[in-house]
C-alpha cells in the first residue's frame, strides 16, 4: 500500500483511503489521526477537503447507495413481468456489490450511532423495500411459489447477496463476475435442485 503524494491528492483518493480504514477499524474506531496516517497527509490537509470523518462516511455510503438505487431505474428493472424485473435487480445488485465492494461493505456494516449512519440504514432499508415490493408484485402475478412469505424471502435473498462482502475478492476476469451474478440469480429463483 503506497501513500499518495500530497500534490496528487484528490477528494477521490482520500475517500478510497478513508473507506479502507473504516472497513478495517470500524467507523467508530477510526479517528482523524488514523485517516491522516493512512493517507499520508496532515489532518489540516484533510480538513481542506472535508469537514470531518462523518462527511467521508456520507460520501462513501452515498456512492454505494447511488449505485444500488440507479439499478431500479434501468430498463430491465422497469419493463416486463415483475418476476423478470426482480431477477434482473438481483443480478445487477450482485454486480454493483462487486464493482463497489469496499463502499457496499461499509454500507452493510453501518450500525447507526450518528445521523449519517441512521440515514444510510434508512436508505438501505428503502432499497430492500423496493425489492420486496417487486417480489410482492411477482407473487401477485402468480409467478412465485405461494408457500414462501415475501418478507422472509426478501431477507434471505439479501442475506445471500450481502454475504458476498465476506468472501468475494475482486477478480480481473469479467466472465467470473458474470458467472457469480448469474449463479446468485439461478439459486434464488430456480434453486439448486435440477428441475425434475
Query: What does the binding site for a second copy look like in residue numbers (CB under 8 A)?
Result: 83, 135, 138, 142-149, 152-153, 155-164, 166-167, 179-180, 183-184, 186-195
Smallest distance, Å, CB 149 to a second copy?
7
Instruction: Give the side-chain half-sphere CA count within 13 A for 115.
Output: 2
- Residue closer to a second copy by CB (options 15, 106) is 106
- Answer yes or no: are the C-beta atoms of 89 and 77 closer than 8 Å: yes
Residue 115's φ and ψ, nearest 5 degrees, are: -60, -40
Nearer to a second copy, 104 or 184 (CB): 184
Q: How far is the CB of 50 from a second copy (least distance, A)?
A: 28
Q: How far is the CB of 49 from a second copy (least distance, A)?
A: 31
Nearest to a second copy of 127, 158 (CB atom): 158
| Residues whose CB is less than 8 angstroms from the CB of residue 179 and which lie 6 or more positions away in sequence, other chains included | none
As measured in angstroms, the least distance from the Cβ of 144 to a second copy is 5
Nearer to a second copy, 50 or 104 (CB): 104
Nearest-angstrom CA–CA distance, 23 and 27: 7
If you search the block for the grid coordinates 430492500, which residue do you land on?
128
Radius of gyration of the chain (CA): 19
Closer CB to a second copy, residue 12 or residue 176? Answer: 176
Q: Report the C-alpha gap between 150 and 133 in whole angstroms.
A: 9
Cα(82)–Cα(60) distance, rounded to whole angstroms?
31
Q: Closer to a second copy by CB, 45 or 162: give it.
A: 162
Please state the closest distance from residue 14 (CB atom) to a second copy, in A.
Answer: 28
- The answer to whether the CB of 35 falls within 8 A of the CB of 17 is yes
Q: How far is the CB of 166 from a second copy (least distance, A)?
A: 7
Amino acid at each position: 500500500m503506497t501513500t499518495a503524494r500530497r500534490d496528487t491528492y484528490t477528494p477521490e483518493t482520500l475517500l478510497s483511503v478513508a473507506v479502507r480504514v473504516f472497513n478495517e477499524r470500524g467507523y467508530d474506531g477510526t479517528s482523524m489521526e488514523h485517516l491522516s496516517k493512512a493517507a499520508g497527509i496532515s489532518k489540516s490537509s484533510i480538513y481542506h477537503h472535508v469537514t470531518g470523518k462523518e462527511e467521508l462516511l456520507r460520501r462513501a455510503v452515498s456512492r454505494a447507495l447511488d449505485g444500488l438505487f440507479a439499478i431500479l431505474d434501468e430498463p430491465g428493472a422497469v419493463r416486463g413481468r415483475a418476476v423478470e424485473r426482480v431477477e434482473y435487480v438481483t443480478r445487477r445488485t450482485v454486480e454493483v456489490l462487486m464493482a463497489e465492494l469496499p463502499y457496499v461493505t461499509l454500507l452493510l456494516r453501518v450500525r447507526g450511532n450518528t445521523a449519517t449512519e441512521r440515514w444510510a440504514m434508512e436508505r438501505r432499508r428503502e432499497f430492500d423495500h423496493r425489492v420486496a415490493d417487486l417480489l410482492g408484485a411477482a407473487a401477485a402475478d402468480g409467478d412465485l411459489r405461494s408457500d414462501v412469505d415475501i418478507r422472509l424471502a426478501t431477507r434471505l435473498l439479501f442475506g445471500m447477496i450481502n454475504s458476498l462482502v465476506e468472501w468475494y475478492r475482486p477478480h480481473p476476469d469479467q466472465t467470473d463476475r458474470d458467472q457469480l451474478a448469474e449463479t446468485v440469480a439461478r439459486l434464488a429463483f430456480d434453486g439448486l435442485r435440477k428441475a425434475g
